[in-house]
Amino acid sequence: MRLKLLAAAATAAAATLTLTLTTSAQASHSWGGYHWARTSNPFTLQLGDNLSSTWKSYLSTASSDWSSSAVLDTTVVTGQSNSSCRATSGRVEVCNRTYGNNGWLGLASISLSSGTHISSGTVQLNDTYFNTSTYNTPSWRTMVTCQEVGHTFGLDHQDTNQTNTNLGTCMDYTNSPDGPPSNLHPNSHDYSELSTIYSHTDSSSTVGLAADVPSVGKSKKSWGKRVEHSDSTGVDTYVRDFGRGKAVVTYVFWAN
C-alpha cells in the first residue's frame, strides 16, 4: 500500500521515514526502489555536518560503517543547511536540534526526481529526547544516526517490531540497541541490499545535482493531507503537494 502510493507521487517528490519511540522482518528492505542515479560504482555521497559537537563522532562512525559497502562511499563535509535542516541538492544534510515532544527520535527525508531517483536527503536528530536519561547514551545515538543515514540511500527497515529479537543491524527497531545482538551498525544483509539496489548504473547522475528540492517541517501540520491510516500498525502517510510536479510524502511510525 505505502510503496504503491509513493511510486504514484509526482515526478519530483520527497518521501520521509520517521524513527519513533515505539511490523515484521523482511527478506528485502529496499525503500520503494529509490536510489541515487549515478553512472558508475562505487559512487561517493557527501554527508553535510550541521551537528553540535556531541553528535559529530556518531556521524563519523555512521559514515565509516556505510562506506564499507561495495557500491558507495560517504564523506563527511561541512554542512550547508539552515536551522530547519533544509535539503541541499545532490547530497545529504545531517542536523540536530530540540525539535520538540513530537514522538520521533530521528527523521530521514529523501527528495525524488524522475520517479525513483534520489536528488537530496536530510537527517534530523531530535535532542528533545536525546537530552533525556533514557536516550542520552552512546548506543541510542549510534543506532539512530546509522539508521537515519541508511534511509537516505534507499534502505527501509529490516524489521519494525520493537519486541522481536534484535537482528544485529541498525536498520531494525528495538527497545535495546545493545542487544544481544547489537543493533549499532549495518549487517551483511544491509550491504547485500545496497548491492542489489545499485546493481545497475544510470545514464546520468543526481549526486551533486543542482536543483530546487521541496521540504517540510517537523510538525504534522506541515506534512499536508493524511491519505493513509492503519489502526493495527499505527502508521500514517501524509502528502503535501507543492505544485509544478513537486510533493512531499511523509511516512510516520507513531509512538505507542
Residue 61's pLDDT is what?
A: 98
Which residue carries 537527517 as its cell?
123
The boundaries of the domain holding residue 87 are 2-253
- With cut-offs at 50, 70 and 90, classify the pLDDT of residue 8: very low
Between the CA of residue 79 and those of 47, 209, 231, what are the distances in Å?
8, 16, 39
- With cut-offs at 50, 70 and 90, classify the pLDDT of residue 24: very low
The residue with greater pLDDT, 58 or 224, is: 58
b/e map 146-159, b = 16+ CB within 10 Å: bbbbbbbbbbbbbb
Bridge pairing between strands 72-78 and 104-113: unpaired
Indicate if the pLDDT at residue 4 is higher than 50.
no
Which residue carries 507513531 as its cell?
254
CA distance 107 to 116: 20
Q: Which residues contact 82 (CB under 8 A, 6 or more apart)?
A: none
- With cut-offs at 50, 70 and 90, classify the pLDDT of residue 132: very high
The residue with greater pLDDT, 178 or 159, is: 178
b/e map 81-113, b = 16+ CB within 10 Å: beebbbbbbbbbbbbbbebeebbbbbbbbbbbb
CA distance 29 to 20: 18
CA distance 110 to 213: 10
CB contact at 8 A, 108 and 152: yes
Q: How many domains does the chain have?
A: 1
Indicate if the pLDDT at residue 179 is higher than 90.
yes
**CATH, residue 249:** 3.40.390.10
**221 by DSSP, 3-state: which?**
helix
